[in-house]
Amino acid sequence: MELGSIKNTILTGLGWLSVIMGLISLAIINVSLLSGYDVPLANTSWVLISVVFGIISVFNKKSRTLGFWGLSISIFLGLFVVTIFGLGWTINPFP
């Protein structure tokens, strides 16, 4: 019984970590777009870690919603970066 509660706590923590990392990545991208600074997309490692934590936390019934939230934020960030890169490439393909 004790091991089950520890597992639930760890998986819930991973779900929250996935959501928080996704929100921090969103904030970094928004601040970089609003301020005009060229922030490299080095936070893609944060997005990948957030995806892994979200997938891990989806397997538990108590942390499933947190896992889906973390995955949805990470997938949104990935699609956003791909879309912005594609639009930038069509505007000026050879800088």
Cα 30 from chain centre? 14
Report the range of poorest mean pLDDT among 10-14, 39-43, 54-58, 66-70: 39-43
Q: What pLDDT shows up at residue 88?
A: 79
Q: What is the pTM of this model?
A: 0.80
Quote the domain boundaries for residue 9.
2-91
Q: How many domains does the chain have?
A: 1
6-49 per-position pLDDT tens digit: 888 888 888 999 999 889 888 888 888 788 777 666 567 888 88
Q: What size, in residues, is the chain?
A: 95
Q: Rounded to 5 degrees, what are φ and ψ at 73?
A: -65, -40
